[in-house]
């Protein structure tokens, strides 16, 4: 497996970051069961993650981030997922949310990201209402899936702006609110990814200045060119690639674990079946890896012109990668037999985690609907390299 699925041409900075990940793995493993029991990653793990700069890898250097390239970011998340999918998922979410620093006004990005000691997380779908009050908004609402909520400094609250009923589509904005002004509801009681603490949260009648908000429509394009911009890549494409990396990392971990842990004295009569089914699982994971690499290349090569075709290509890769990754884990879980059903089994954790993480909307099979429609409406627009 090690020789079958290697990244091609990783940037030189990757080694440094991957070594940081591996150095943290003993601490992550030590406290992994804690997250299962408490629905939050252990504070010692989080402290080291923040100390090593993992919470700001996608933030511009102008705002105190590391501005790590996309390939390295993906490789890091894959490596974290080998040991704890919940840690990888929280960082994947933070990778996406860190990209918002490219879209906010520069003084706001400076105020939020350069001094933040925890996560900037939240919801990108509207769950509230914002009433304009001069240069401010009066915000109220309730949102779900705040991954890393136990360690949030800021919460992103997406809401519909209340305005005159003139028949036009209502404006939807993201509002950045200090976590102290929101209430966390401990709703995260799930099958897998328990350590993410992806709880519901709400705020009531909070006053937010317009400078601490942005129009969600801007996220469908590349951020405007400016000296502080970290990436030309659009918000949604970057975030999808991060989620894909965590899911694939779980599948790779499951296949590797099966190879290293399976019984030595296997019934000779079953070896042929085991070899074939393992080969199918490897094929699924390897295909998923190639899809991820292709999606990253598409995003990098298109630069400013991310637009609809590239979004569709990334969405296609996300859906098929997720399907392959889930199938691979299911295959390995079945091959492992009865010992895999115990909570002490690593494969049991992989099974739960991947079936939870794969439910994220960016990884949905509905992406295939979008690419099918685009292909039929605009012939050959997706074929260009």
The span from the first CA to the last CA of the chain, in angstroms, equals 29
81 domain residue, yes or no: yes
DSSP string, 328-362: HHHHHHHHTGGGGGSTT-HHHHHHHHHHHHTTSGG
Kindly state the percentage of the chain with pLDDT values over 90: 79
In a domain, 64, yes or no: yes
Asked if residue 54 and residue 155 are part of one domain, the reply reads no
* Cα angle for residues 315, 69, 41 (degrees, 5° grid): 80
Are 316 and 202 in a shared domain? no
> What is the per-residue pLDDT for 219?
93
Query: Does residue 364 share a domain with residue 242?
Result: yes
Q: Are the C-beta atoms of 160 and 171 separated by less than 8 Å?
A: yes
* 337 and 266 part of one domain: yes
123/160 Cα distance (integer angstroms): 13
For residues 99 and 125, membership in a common domain is answered with: no
Question: CA quadruple 170, 174, 180, 183: dihedral positive or negative?
Answer: positive
CATH number of the domain enclosing 74: 1.10.540.10
Co-location of 249 and 301 in the same domain:
yes
- Inside any domain, residue 224: no
By residue count, the chain amounts to 385
- Tell me which residue range forms the domain holding 56: 13-104
Are 286 and 367 in the same domain? yes
Last residue of a domain, one of 77, 104, 131: 104
The secondary structure of the chain in percent helix, strand, coil, rounded to multiples of 5, reads: 55, 15, 30
Question: Quick one: 207 and 240 in the same domain?
Answer: no
Q: Is residue 262 part of a domain?
A: yes
Report yes or no: 137 and 208 within 8 Å, Cβ to Cβ: yes
Domain count along the chain: 3
pLDDT, tens digit only, all 385 positions of the chain: 444 556 667 888 899 999 999 999 999 999 999 999 999 999 999 999 999 999 999 999 999 999 999 999 999 999 999 999 999 999 999 999 999 999 999 999 999 999 898 999 999 999 999 999 999 999 999 999 999 999 999 999 999 999 866 667 899 999 999 999 999 999 999 999 999 999 999 999 999 999 999 999 999 889 999 999 999 988 999 999 999 999 999 999 999 999 988 754 466 667 888 999 999 999 999 999 999 999 999 888 876 655 677 888 899 999 999 999 999 999 999 999 999 999 999 999 999 999 999 999 999 999 998 788 878 876 555 544 4
Which token pair is 254? 């499951």
Residue where one domain finishes, among candidates 216, 251, 274: 216
- pLDDT of the residue at 303: 62
Residues 212 and 282 in one domain: no
Instruction: Say if 114 falls within a structural domain.
Output: no
pLDDT digits (tens, 9 = 90+) for 346-363: 999 999 999 999 999 999
Boundary (domain end) residue, out of 104, 133, 157: 104
* Same domain (yes/no): 130, 251: no
DSSP string covering 189-226, please? Answer: --SS-GGG--EEEEEEEEEEEGGGEEEGGGGGSPPPP-
pLDDT on residue 3: 47
* The pLDDT value given to residue 154: 98
CATH of the domain at 353: 1.20.140.10
Residue 382 lies in a domain: no
Asked if the structure places residue 83 within a domain, the reply is yes
């Amino acid at each position: 497996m090690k020789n079958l699925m290697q990244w091609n041409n990783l940037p030189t900075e990757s080694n440094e970051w991957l070594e940081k990940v591996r150095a943290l793995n003993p601490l992550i493993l030590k406290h992994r069961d804690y997250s299962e029991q408490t629905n939050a990653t252990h504070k010692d793990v989080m402290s080291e993650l923040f100390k090593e700069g993992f919470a700001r890898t996608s933030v511009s250097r102008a705002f105190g981030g590391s501005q790590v390239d996309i390939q390295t970011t993906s490789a890091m998340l894959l490596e974290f997922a080998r040991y704890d999918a919940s840690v990888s998922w929280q960082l994947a979410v933070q990778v996406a949310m860190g990209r918002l620093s490219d879209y906010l006004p520069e003084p706001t990005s400076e105020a939020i990201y350069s001094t933040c000691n925890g996560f900037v997380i939240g919801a990108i779908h509207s769950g509230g209402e914002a009433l304009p009050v001069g240069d401010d908004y009066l915000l109220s609402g309730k949102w779900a899936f705040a991954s890393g909520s136990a360690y949030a400094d800021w919460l992103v609250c997406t809401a519909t702006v209340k305005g005159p009923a003139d028949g036009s589509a209502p404006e939807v904005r993201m509002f950045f609110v200090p976590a102290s002004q929101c209430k966390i509801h401990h709703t995260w009681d799930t099958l897998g990814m328990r350590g993410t603490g992806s709880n519901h949260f709400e705020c009531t009648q909070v006053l937010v200045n317009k400078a601490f908000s942005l129009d969600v429509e801007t996220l469908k394009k590349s951020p405007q060119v400016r000296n502080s911009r970290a990436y030309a890549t659009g918000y949604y494409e970057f975030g999808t690639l991060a989620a894909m990396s965590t899911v694939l990392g779980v599948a790779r971990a499951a296949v590797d674990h099966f190879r290293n842990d399976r019984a030595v004295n296997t019934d000779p009569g079953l070896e042929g079946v085991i070899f074939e089914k393992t080969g199918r699982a490897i094929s699924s994971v390897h295909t998923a890896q190639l899809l991820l690499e292709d999606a990253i290349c598409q995003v990098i090569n298109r630069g400013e012109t991310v637009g609809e075709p590239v979004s569709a290509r990334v969405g296609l890769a996300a859906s098929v990668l997720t399907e392959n990754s889930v199938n691979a884990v299911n295959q390995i879980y079945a091959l492992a037999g009865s010992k895999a059903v115990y909570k002490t089994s690593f494969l049991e954790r992989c099974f739960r985690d991947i079936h939870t993480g794969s439910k994220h909307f960016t990884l949905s099979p509905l992406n295939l609907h979008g690419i099918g429609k685009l292909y039929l409406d605009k012939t050959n627009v997706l074929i260009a390299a």
